[in-house]
């Protein structure tokens, strides 16, 4: 019962991060820790695919795990990479020396002390974002109940990553919109300043501002900012400028 309560709390904690601004690496590092605590595995690691499509290591529960995952990436063979490639779960597999499935990875994992492995893809709808690697120092394969929980963690991590990425994009677009609007506002303020200084209407003031910017190879927004700051060259609003 305690284990169930822990699992539920872990899932809720992870779901909470969907709402707040958070760091994906923090989330996934936390995930690897939860896997070790709650699933009876010895180590966990997460790989995510970069926009280029290549997998990279993002989080691990221990240094030994991190090194093994780096080895997997370098050797370009292993359970995590297979899970990413196929989009399907891999294992549970008992690691045996001389295995033909992942010869280099198996040798290295056994050397470090791991004896069995399960890898689950991080999937969001049809997209594979990466994979979760779970290793044990015993040859026992993971119980069904544990695999179900591991699956739930992997799914929630995938959703979190997608939400985070779209949120980052939304923040960027909103800031772009806000900045663009602010630039316009400064130009409108500058029109007013120049209209008053030159004693002309707003349209004429804008024409003189544009003309000055072109002639002096300045950006319009820079000219506008100078006008508002009161540092603009007075020739900018003189009639001779707008020929």
For residue 12, the minimal CB distance to other proteins (Å) is 19
CA angle 26, 27, 30 (to 5 degrees): 85
Nearer to other proteins, 37 or 167 (CB): 167
Nearer to other proteins, 135 or 227 (CB): 227
Site for other proteins in 207-236 (CB under 8 A): 221, 227-228, 230
Beta-carbon-side half-sphere exposure of residue 158 (alpha carbons within 13 Å): 22
Nearer to other proteins, 137 or 189 (CB): 189
Candidates 36, 35, 34, 41; CA nearest to 116 is 41
For residue 195, the minimal CB distance to other proteins (Å) is 6
Which x/- pattern over 156-195 shows residues binding other proteins (rule: CB under 8 A)? -------x--xx--xx-xx-xxxxxx-xxx--xxxxxxxx
Number of residues that bind other proteins (CB under 8 A): 34
For residue 196, the minimal CB distance to other proteins (Å) is 4
Beta-carbon-side half-sphere exposure of residue 39 (alpha carbons within 13 Å): 34
**How far is CA 94 from each of CA 1, 50, 63, 97, 145, rounded to the nearest angstrom?**
29, 29, 22, 10, 18
Judged by CB under 8 A, the residue of 12, 21, 52, 144 near other proteins is 21
Q: Which residues bind other proteins (CB under 8 A)?
A: 19-21, 163, 166-167, 170-171, 173-174, 176-181, 183-185, 188-197, 202, 221, 227-228, 230
């Amino acid at each position: 019962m305690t284990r169930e309560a822990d699992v539920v709390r872990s899932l809720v904690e992870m779901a909470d991060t969907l709402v707040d601004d958070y760091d994906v690496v923090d989330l996934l590092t936390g995930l690897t820790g939860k896997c070790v605590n709650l699933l009876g595995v010895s180590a966990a690691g997460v790989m995510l695919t970069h926009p280029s499509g290549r997998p990279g290591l993002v989080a691990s529960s221990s240094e030994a795990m991190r090194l093994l995952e780096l080895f997997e990436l370098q050797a370009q063979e292993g359970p995590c990479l297979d899970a990413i490639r196929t989009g399907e779960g891999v294992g549970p597999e008992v690691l045996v020396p001389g295995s033909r499935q992942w010869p280099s990875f198996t040798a290295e994992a056994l050397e470090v002390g791991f004896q069995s492995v399960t890898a689950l893809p991080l999937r969001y709808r049809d997209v594979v974002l990466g994979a979760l690697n779970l290793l044990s120092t015993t040859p026992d394969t993971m119980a069904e109940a544990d695999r179900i929980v591991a699956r739930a963690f992997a799914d929630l991590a995938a959703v979190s990553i997608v939400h985070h990425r779209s949120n980052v994009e939304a923040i960027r677009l909103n800031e772009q919109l806000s900045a663009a609007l602010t630039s316009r506002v400064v130009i409108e303020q500058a029109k007013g300043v120049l209209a008053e200084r030159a004693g002309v209407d707003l349209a004429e003031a804008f024409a003189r501002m544009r003309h000055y910017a072109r002639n002096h190879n300045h950006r319009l927004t820079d000219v506008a900012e100078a006008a508002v700051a009161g540092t603009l060259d007075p020739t900018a609003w003189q009639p001779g400028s707008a020929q």
